[in-house]
């Protein structure tokens, strides 16, 4: 028995902030100009409205998902929330009860169990891994995995605190706000559904990207040791793990219509896609991106890409896709699936 993605939704705030506008807001002058748009390929990102929170964002995404689903909230067996930024009010981060508790009540998913996952940017794909197992083991018949990220506060802190060009907070300027949600259930036929999912944590590198409240200003920060990550060959290690997962399951990159990776920056995505195929002596498989217009939307990137691709009719029933997560931890995950009737 296979599980499948049954429906999907996403939400992005209305306000657009271009990279050029953002860089003009840096409080400390740099010794030389830094063209962040050229370095990252990110033209713009969405920025939360003042009253928007991770909670309001995830609810929008969840409701959009339910619009395209055969299920009503009361039919759902489990609600899994995976946000890194868990705000229900601006600047107040919820610890107890879980965010999923509040979401399930607000949606009216009164029969559902719930829990939160925290696995940095790999949160939603981790949710898919767990829910796929729960469905195949008969623990639940269906469930919804979701995330709402109002993560641009780390960019605000970076604009205040970056005082030199090699600051560990530079990666914070690449983020954008978004919500995404998907429902999984049992596949209806052999031609659709999840073929395999696999994950690893390379904990040797767990300290290389840390997000926490700032100890200089009132805000939240993310420190990324980019040079150490580059020297450690994180993308090579990720590509190697993806190859191991594919070999174990008898696939090769050319089996896929698209390989979609976590959205960090345009160059990084292209490089990763290239590395995955190079291991087989193959040219890169086609990919899809959201990072140019939305930045790095943390846990939601892979599903924002999927949702947009469905809306633009770039993918449809029968499209075979691999999703690859890469996150602080360092967590690397891969999900191979064939699209069924899911629409956006």
Partner 1 sequence: MGTIISSTGVCQNGKENSIISLAASAGEQCIARAGLDKSDVDILISTGIYRDHNVMEPAMATLIQQRMGMNLRFDKMHKTFAFDILNGACGLLSAVQVAGAMLANRTIQRALIVSSDVHPSRSSTVKEFPYTSLGAAMLLEWSDDPAKGFQAIDFRTSPTKYVGLKSVFDVIRHGPNTKNTVDIHIEPDFADRMYSFTVETIRNLLVHYNAMHAINICKLKLIPTHLWRDFGHRITQALGLSEYSPECLYKKYGNPNSAALTVAYHEALASGGIRAGDQLMLLAASSGLNVGAGLYFA
Please state, in angstroms and rounded to a whole number, the distance separating the CA atoms of residues 343 and 257.
17
Least distance CB 244 / partner 1 (angstroms): 7
Residue with Cβ nearer partner 1 (115 or 251): 115
The interface mask with partner 1, positions 185-204, x = CB under 8 A, is: --------------xxxxxx
Q: How far is CA 42 from the centre of its chain?
A: 16
Please state, in angstroms and rounded to a whole number, the distance separating the CA atoms of residues 93 and 106.
18
SS3 call for 293: helix
Among 14, 50, 189, 215, binds partner 1 (CB under 8 A): 215
Give the total of residues touching partner 1 (CB under 8 A): 63
Please state, in angstroms and rounded to a whole number, the distance separating the CA atoms of residues 169 and 167.
5
Least distance CB 310 / partner 1 (angstroms): 27
**Where does residue 195 rank: exposed (0-12), middle (13-18), buried (19+ CB within 10 A)?**
middle
How far is the CA of 44 from the CAs of 71, 147, 174, 196, 316, in angstroms? 34, 21, 9, 34, 27
Least distance CB 96 / partner 1 (angstroms): 4
Q: Judged by CB under 8 A, does residue 20 bind partner 1?
A: no
Please state, in angstroms and rounded to a whole number, the distance separating the CA atoms of residues 38 and 175.
16
Sole residue written with tokens 């200089």: 216
Span from 5-13, 41-49, 173-181, 216-224 in contact with partner 1 (CB under 8 A): 216-224
Among 21, 27, 30, 110, binds partner 1 (CB under 8 A): 110
Residue with Cβ nearer partner 1 (201 or 251): 201
Among 24, 29, 137, 189, binds partner 1 (CB under 8 A): 137
Span from 14-22, 42-50, 110-118, 175-183 in contact with partner 1 (CB under 8 A): 110-118
> How many residues appear in the chain?
344
Please state, in angstroms and rounded to a whole number, the distance separating the CA atoms of residues 24 and 159.
9
Sites of contact with partner 1 (CB under 8 A): 84-85, 91-98, 100-101, 104-105, 110, 113-122, 126, 130, 133-134, 136-137, 139, 153, 199-204, 206-207, 209-220, 222, 237, 240-241, 244, 327-331
């Amino acid at each position: 028995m296979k599980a499948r993605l049954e429906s999907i939704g996403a939400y992005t705030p209305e306000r657009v902030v271009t990279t050029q506008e953002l860089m003009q807001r840096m409080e400390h002058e740099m010794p030389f100009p830094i063209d962040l748009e050229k370095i990252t390929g990110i033209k713009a990102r969405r920025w939360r409205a003042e009253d928007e929170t991770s909670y309001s964002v995830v609810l929008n995404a969840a409701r959009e998902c339910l619009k395209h689903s055969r299920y009503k909230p009361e039919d759902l067996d489990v609600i899994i929330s995976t946000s890194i930024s868990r705000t229900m009010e601006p600047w107040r981060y919820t610890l107890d009860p879980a965010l999923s508790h509040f979401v399930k009540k607000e949606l009216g998913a009164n029969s559902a169990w719930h829990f939160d996952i925290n696995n940095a940017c790999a949160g939603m794909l981790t949710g898919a891994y767990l829910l796929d197992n729960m469905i195949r083991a008969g623990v639940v018949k269906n469930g919804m995995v979701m995330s709402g990220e109002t993560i641009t506060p780390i960019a605000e802190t970076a604009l205040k605190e970056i005082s030199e060009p090699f600051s560990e907070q530079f990666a914070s300027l690449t983020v954008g706000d978004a919500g995404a949600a998907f429902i999984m259930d049992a596949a209806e036929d052999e031609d659709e559904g999840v073929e395999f999912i696999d994950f690893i944590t390379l904990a040797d590198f767990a300290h290389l990207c840390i997000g926490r409240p700032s100890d200089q200003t009132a805000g939240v920060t993310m420190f990324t040791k980019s040079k150490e990550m580059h020297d450690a060959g994180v993308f090579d290690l990720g590509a190697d793990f993806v190859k191991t997962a594919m070999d174990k399951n008898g696939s090769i990159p050319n089996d896929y219509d698209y390989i979609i990776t976590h959205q960090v920056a345009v160059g990084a995505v292209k490089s990763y896609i290239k590395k995955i195929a190079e291991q087989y002596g193959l040219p890169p498989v086609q990919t899809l991106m959201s990072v140019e217009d939305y930045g790095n939307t943390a846990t939601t990137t892979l599903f924002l890409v999927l949702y947009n691709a469905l809306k633009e009719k770039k993918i449809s029933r029968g499209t075979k896709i691999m999703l690859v997560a890469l996150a602080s931890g360092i967590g690397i995950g891969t999900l191979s699936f064939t699209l069924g009737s899911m629409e956006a």
